Structures are given as C-alpha cells and as structure tokens.
Amino acid sequence: MTLRVAAAQAESTYGEVEANVKAAVDLVERATQQGARVVVLPELFLTGYAAERWSPAGCLDDPADERLAPLADAAHRAGAVVVAGAAIRRGDEATISLLAFDEHGGATSVYDKQHLTDEEKAFFTAGKGGATLVVDGWSLGLGVCFDGCFPQHAAAAAADGASAYLCPSAYYAGSEHRRDLYYAARALDNGIYVVFAGLTGRCGQREFNGGSAVYDPEGRPLARVGAESPAVAVADLEQAEVDRVQAMNPILAGRRDLGERTRWVLPA
C-alpha cells in the first residue's frame, strides 16, 4: 500500500487570508502535478505566524470561511487531501489548528495544537486531545510544530495505529539543527514516516527557515528542501516499510511502564 505525500512551504503574510490561500493553491498544484495524494502546508499558513500581532481579528471563525473556497476547490480538482494550519476562534478562545480539505471540496477542523510555546500561550489555548486522519486506509497522526518536540506525542499517534505523523511547523531562522533532529527522531522513535512542512521567509518581525521534509521509518530524509520558497518535498510512503522497520526494531511494541524511580545519594 503506497501513499504519495508532499510537504510544501512558502511565505505567509499575517492577516492576508486571500493572499495566503492563493499561495496555498499554488503549492497544491505543484505537489499534485507530481502525483501527491496528501499535501501538508505549514503551521498557521492560512492566517500567518506573527506573535507580535495575534488578535481575534486575525483568526478564522469557521473552516467554511468563503475566503478558503479556492483551496477547497483546488483539493477537489486535484483529488487530493490538503492539511493546512490556521488560527481558529472558538468563542472567547483561539487555537492553532489544522484544517483538512478533501477531494469532495469539504473543509474540516481536525486538530488543535496541544503543546504551546510561551509566546503562543499568551494568546492561544492548547488543544485537549490528539487526532488521526485516515486517508486511503493510511492512519496519519497529526501534530503541530512544538508537539513534535515531545516524544510521547508522536508515540501516542503510533500507539493508535498511525503509520505516519504529519507535523506542520514554523521554525525561526537559526533553529535548523533542532528542526532536523526532532522530526527525524520521531520517525526513528516509532518506526513511522514523518511529514514535516515548515514555514519559510518573513512573516511579521521574524524569519522562518523552511526545511520541509519527509522522513522514512528509520529517520532518513526521503525528500527535503532548504529555505527556498515556494518549494515541495514529495515522497512515497510504503506500509511494507513501516512493517519491516517495526519488526526489525520493535521499540513501539517494547515500551514499558518504568515504574517508580529510586534515588541513591552516595557519600561525598
């Protein structure tokens, strides 16, 4: 069973939903021309990542917002599933969320980011549970950026049967070393694929470093791009490879409850 995926990146502008949707459509077209069935776009791509400017006015109220219609249409025309990040207003709160646009032209909010950085906590509310998206029989665990820095987040997806972990992100320039280690490690930790889509260019006052990639179940990049914009990294996921790696290195199956710790203080 094969699934072709694309991790896509471009610049996003805070509050300019129509312009960001236009850029998203371009990325979807680039990716699907290469046969991608699933296209992953970066964190907050549709509404912009600019911590100094976050406000309720910069959030979407509904995945059916008419400004998103061109992206829904692009997914429909291409027969693809598009996963894209956006800020969503939920009453008096806001979440960093993932929207899924399907081949039928529908749009659904499928996941809210659970691990927030300190600057994100000042405006956003953390999600309360994990989520898996199922496409063509593939279980795809969902995360957003900082989620992927916590081994237990991807592990929970894998324990729920995910064979891949989709993690739209936004990494500041200068953090390339951590970016490239975290997501390769989540693949190796669990014997699953990881699809990392990183924001690039300038949004607000900060510069982002891209680095979109698809990692195999042993943590090796099958496809990866640098900081160029726009760009897509396209690769085929193979369920047989997940099965092989998990059988060879059964870390997922071998995890144990480690019980209580004992602390011994030796005399100086």
Please report the pLDDT score of residue 251 as a whole number.
82
Q: What is the mean pLDDT of the chain?
A: 96
256 pLDDT more than 90 = no
For 216, residues 6+ apart whose C-beta sits below 8 A from its C-beta are 187, 193, 222, 241, 245
Which ranges constitute the DSSP H helices of the chain? 17-33, 69-78, 118-121, 151-159, 176-190, 239-248, 251-254
Instruction: Give the right CATH number for 2-254 from 3.40.1050.10, 3.50.50.60, 3.20.20.60, 3.60.110.10.
Output: 3.60.110.10
For the chain, percent of residues with pLDDT exceeding 70 = 100
Delimit the domains of the chain by residue range: 2-254
For 230, residues 6+ apart whose C-beta sits below 8 A from its C-beta are 8, 9, 10, 23, 26, 27, 30
DSSP secondary structure code for residue 172 in this structure: B
246 pLDDT more than 90 = yes
Please report the pLDDT score of residue 201 as a whole number.
96
Query: 177 — phi, psi (to 5°)?
Result: -60, -50
Please answer whether residues 131 and 110 qualify as being in contact, where contact means their C-beta atoms are separated by less than 8 angstroms: yes
Please report the pLDDT score of residue 206 as a whole number.
92
The model's confidence at residue 250, banded by pLDDT at 50, 70 and 90, is confident
247 pLDDT more than 90 = yes
Sign of CA dihedral 32, 131, 51, 46: positive
Please report the pLDDT score of residue 253 as a whole number.
81
Residue 38 CA to residue 156 CA, distance in Å, equals: 22
117 pLDDT more than 90 = yes
pLDDT tens by residue, 152-209 = 999 999 999 999 999 999 999 999 999 999 999 999 999 999 999 999 999 989 999 9
Q: Read off the pLDDT of each residue in 8-24 and give the average, rounded to a whole number.
A: 97
Widest pairwise Cα distance in the chain = 71
pLDDT tens by residue, 147-164 = 999 999 999 999 999 999
Nearest CA to 167 among 149, 190, 189?
Answer: 149
Please report the pLDDT score of residue 43 as a whole number.
98
The model's confidence at residue 62, banded by pLDDT at 50, 70 and 90, is confident
DSSP secondary structure code for residue 163 in this structure: S
For the chain, percent of residues with pLDDT exceeding 90 = 93
∠ CA 192-198-202 to the nearest 5 degrees? 170
